Amino acid sequence: MLVRQKKNDMMLHIPGVLTPDQVAHLRARMAGAPEWLDGRESVGPQGAKVKRNRQLGEGTPLAVELGQIVSAALMANPMFFSSALPLRMLTPYFNAYGGGEHYGLHVDGAIRAQRGGGAPVRADVSTTVFLSEPEEYEGGELEVVDLYGTHEVKLAAGDAIVYSSGSVHQVRPVTSGERVASFLWTQSMVRDDGKRAMLFDLDTQIQKLRAQHGESEITVGLTAHYHNLLRMWAEV
């Protein structure tokens, strides 16, 4: 597992989003699937210049089936919910890198269309759920660039990394083995990264106090403060 980042950025490692059994199920269902396409088909001309990977066909029955597993696991994870405060989430995508495949420096589009005519999703929060163990491949680090520098991420299968969709990022070339992952975008109830980070930190401290001292006048007061801030900042 590799996560190199500074303390104050809003990148969050969430361990164990998927269980080992869920990871094995996803990998088995994807193995040999005919729906793998050139990843450049899902991006515009600018992205196509730097993207070299394979992607499970968007909107295919298999992609939808497996995406529902990932979505449900994320929505049931308290850390993901607290950090992302999801309002709408796109159906997860799945990609694979091997044989030198990579995705050069780019930024995710701000507005993502939904299949089936659903309302477009503003991409506030990007999430990658790793489906390959780090020892299964060489290279393939997710690099995210923000105000605090460049952060390298390579996590255990089933773990997720959550970061701002406005960050410039890339996937380094996979020089051996294969890197398989799921990725998705979330529109948050709180659009501003800084406000969302403050709410997450406040919620985390409240949970720690509650675990150490039980429910008290202090935890009730801080919880009221949290919800009043959320009421002030949320867009629903």
Beta partners for 144?
Answer: 151, 169
Q: Cα 139 to chain center, whole Å?
A: 19
Annotated binding site for 2-oxoglutarate: 179
User: Alpha-carbon distance 7 to 9, whole Å?
Assistant: 6
User: Alpha-carbon distance 233 to 195, whole Å?
Assistant: 8
Annotated binding site: 106, 108, 169, 179
For the packed helices 217-233 and 193-213, what is the interaxial angle rounded to 10 degrees?
Answer: 160
Q: Cα 25 to chain center, whole Å?
A: 20
| Helices within 40-150 (DSSP H only) | 45-48, 61-75, 78-84
For the packed helices 61-75 and 20-30, what is the interaxial angle rounded to 10 degrees?
Answer: 170
Annotated binding site for Fe cation: 106, 108, 169
